[in-house]
Every structure is written in structure tokens, then in C-alpha cells.
Amino acid sequence: MANSPSSAPRQLLIVDDDEEFAESIADILIPAGYAPIVADRPDTAAIAVKRYSPPVAIIDIRLGGMSGVELLARLKAERPDLVGVMMTAHVDTQTAVTALRKGAYDYFDKSCNPDELKAVLDRAFERHGLEAENRAAYETLRVAKEAAEAANRAKSDFLANISHELRTPLNAIIGFSELMLSAAHGLIGNPTYQAYVSDIFDAGTDLLKIINEILDLSKAEAGRLELLEETVDVASVVRTVVRLVGPKADDAGLSLETNIPDIPPLLFCDRLKLKQVLLNFLSNAVKFTPTGGKISVTVTSDLTNGFIIAVKDSGIGIAEADIPRVLQPFIQVDSALSRAHSGTGLGLPLAAAMIELHGGRIQVASEPGQGTTVSAHFPAARIVGIADIMPALGLPFDTIEQPSEQRALKQA
Ligand code: ATP
Ligand code: MG
């Protein structure tokens, strides 16, 4: 902390082998509110710094056995916040520049007048004060960041534990209600009870989906979500997902088309996670598109843009300001349609985490009232070329040109 002349005296160290000169500076500075400590040798200077911790030291650049710059470096090793000012018999620019480069804050000519010296010292003390403030601010931020990280870890652990504990009883609820619905041990006599059991099964399944999503998201945040990678025919995943949401789209009077290239679009990825991502994109498109709307799924892959799966709808859209928000957990933009549909606001953040785990990114483009396109972009390195799968298809791989080295490897 800087001392101001109005409060405690400003402590400073004066190091000069010419003790008389050092004392004469001290005499000038004492009436101006300074408390100088004089040292005529490097070792006594080091002891003074250790004992009194002065914020500022003025050091003669030539100290007999050692250079002042060297001494400053030693003193700073002990007290990194010490601000050093060099004194020279007559300022020669080269020495001054070297001193500044080696850690001195400023320098002055020994023949300068007292006001010039005080001006240099004012700046040095101000510098010390600013540095102390910066360090304190940095320390506050560091402590706050550590606390936030610890809280986040605690939250992730808590979520992981609670999700695990909830899943066990939930599996019993889902399993037994399913068994009762399938009449495995005989029919349920009362149709009202039959309907209740069906509701229990649906509610249990919804809850399990939410719990699994929470668990996955907390795993992703903790960097513990892992990929099970394989070569995946994206066309078949799209077909499966379209089959799953098809009935809901039909009920809502929506058209659903797919644009997939003829050559099988193969991606090296986690099949289940990809399915989960696309299921969320498509069910969002169905949920947020009013009757009569259009939905399309387009797959493109090329080496420049990578592998892209885009789900486009002609629905209610998302306001520009809300686009970053919908990628955050538990955020749902309020609308009549979102109120009419169930959801927890975990689908998109989880999809984003899963795509990012593949080294890709999610993109949301939208125009309120016009529609939304949500796309998953995977890096080109994940595109599996036809040449890579020809042997697996039982095709001779020299039907296409390959570098001889690669061919030799594959034959081996
Ligand atoms: P969940 O996916 O967890 O069941 P959800 O669908 O509400 O619930 P997200 O998939 O994360 O959650 O989507 C978050 C919000 O983003 C939605 O509630 C909705 O407000 C907005 N949104 C997402 N997709 C679209 C879309 N295609 N058109 C308009 N709004 C959308
Ligand atoms: Mg969703």
C-alpha cells in the first residue's frame, strides 16, 4: 500500500557507496515526508529490504563491487513489488536504457535539483500503489474464480449423484408399468386404471429422459462425457430419427423432407450421441412449427466446409437476442407453442456439448416468424471417404487411384 505524505512517512531505501551523498539526499527528503533508510553496501541494502520492506529504493548505478542494476535484481528477488530508481553521476542514455530494461522503474541524475528528485519519487510511489491495487484486484478475482469453479464442481458432483440415485427407482416405475401395460400377468380390469398406468409409464419415461440429460450435461461440464466412435452412415441415423418424429409431424400437419447425397455420407462419430442431437433438432422443429409448416433435413459434406447436418423449419423462429440464450441450460423462450409442449430446455445445450466433443460446433440461424435452421458442423477430418470403406464393402480398392504407400499399407 502506498503511503501518502499526509499520512505515514514514505519509507524508502537509499543505496550509495558514497555515504555522504546518500545522507545529503536523506536530509532533503525527510522534511518532505519521507523516512529514508541509508545503506552503503549491497549486503546492508539486502538486510534493510528484508527488515523494513520499503516500497521504493533509489540505488546508485555504480556501487564499487556490484552494479546497481544487479543489486536491484537481487532485491527484487526478495521483494518483487520493490520499485527501483537508479541514480547516475550524469545520465548516459545507454546505461539508463539498460537499467530500465533490467527492471528499474526510473532514473535520475545525481546533479538534478530536489524538486526533480521528488517528482521522480512521487511517480515511483504512485507506481507501487497502482501495482499493489492490481495485485489485490487480481487476487480477489483469482479467489472468486476458484470459488466459482469449486461451486461448479460441487454442483456437477451433486447432479451426478442425485441423477444416479433417481434412476434406480425410476427404472422400477417404468419397468413395472410397462409390464402391467403389456398384461404380462393378466389384464387390468378397470379402464381408468389402465389409463393411469399408461400415464405413469409416460411420465416415468419423460423424467428418465430429463435425468439422463442432466447427467450427461454435468458430465460434459466436468469433461467426463466420452465418445464411442465408429464409422456411421448418417443417412440411416436420419431415417431412424425421421421415423421417430414422423407421427408427431403428421399429427401437426407438417411436411418433412430429407436431402441426403446418393453416396453414403459417412461420419466418424458417436452414433447414439448423433441420434440424440438430431432427435432434439427435429423434435424442436416439430414443436415450434405451426400447422402446415415445412421441415427439412439436409446433409452435406465436403473438405472445405466439413460435414454439416442442417434441420430447417418454417416455424415461429427465435429472436436474435435469444439465440445465445437457447444454448444455455434450462432456457426456454416463452411462447404459446413452448407452453403447449413439454421440455426442459436441456436439448440444445446438450446437443452443443456433444457436437463440441466431436471437435465441431452448433449453429443456430433464425428469423422470428420465418423459421429456424439449426445445424451440426463436424470437422472435415471426420468425413470417412469411400476409399476408406471399399475393402469393408468387399470392393477391390484399386478401382480408385490411391497413393502407392497407402495401398501397400492397406494390402498389408
Ligand atoms: P428439451 O429439448 O430439453 O426437451 P426444449 O426443446 O424446450 O426442451 P431446447 O431443445 O434446448 O429445449 O431448446 C431451447 C429453447 O429454444 C426452446 O424451448 C425454444 O424456445 C427454442 N427453440 C429451439 N429450437 C427451436 C426452433 N426450431 N424454433 C423455435 N424455437 C426453438
Ligand atoms: Mg428440445
pLDDT grade for 12, boundaries at 50, 70 and 90: very high
212 C-alpha to ligand 1 centroid (Å): 17
Closest ligand 1 atom, residue 345 Cα: 12
Mutate to test the pocket of ligand 1, among 294, 326, 341, 355 (most ligand atoms within 8 A of CB): 326
Give 378's strand partners.
307
| Contacts for 282 with CB less than 8 Å, ≥ 6 apart | 241, 242, 245, 295, 297, 311
Note the pLDDT of residue 394: 56
H/E run at residue 12: strand 10-15
Mutate to test the pocket of ligand 1, among 212, 245, 248, 284 (most ligand atoms within 8 A of CB): 284
d(CA 309, CA 376): 5
Of the listed ligands, the closest to the CA of 350 is: 1
Of the listed ligands, the closest to the CA of 346 is: 1
> 377, 353, 330, 361: which is closest to 222 by C-alpha?
353
Is pLDDT of 336 > 80?
Answer: no
Tens-place pLDDT, residues 131-141: 999 999 999 99
H/E run at residue 33: none
Is pLDDT of 408 > 70?
Answer: no
180 C-alpha to ligand 1 centroid (Å): 33
Tens-place pLDDT, residues 38-82: 999 999 999 999 999 999 999 998 887 788 989 999 999 999 999
Phi, psi of 6 (to 5 degrees): -75, -20
pLDDT grade for 331, boundaries at 50, 70 and 90: confident
CA distances from 12 to 40, 128, 278 (A): 14, 12, 68
CA distances from 11 to 29, 37, 87 (A): 10, 7, 18
The answer, yes or no, to whether any atom of ligand 1 lies below 6 A from the CB of 316, is yes
341 C-alpha to ligand 2 centroid (Å): 10
Residues, beta carbon < 5 Å, ion ligand 2 = 280, 284, 347
Tens-place pLDDT, residues 190-243: 999 999 999 999 999 989 988 888 888 888 888 888 999 999 999 999 999 999
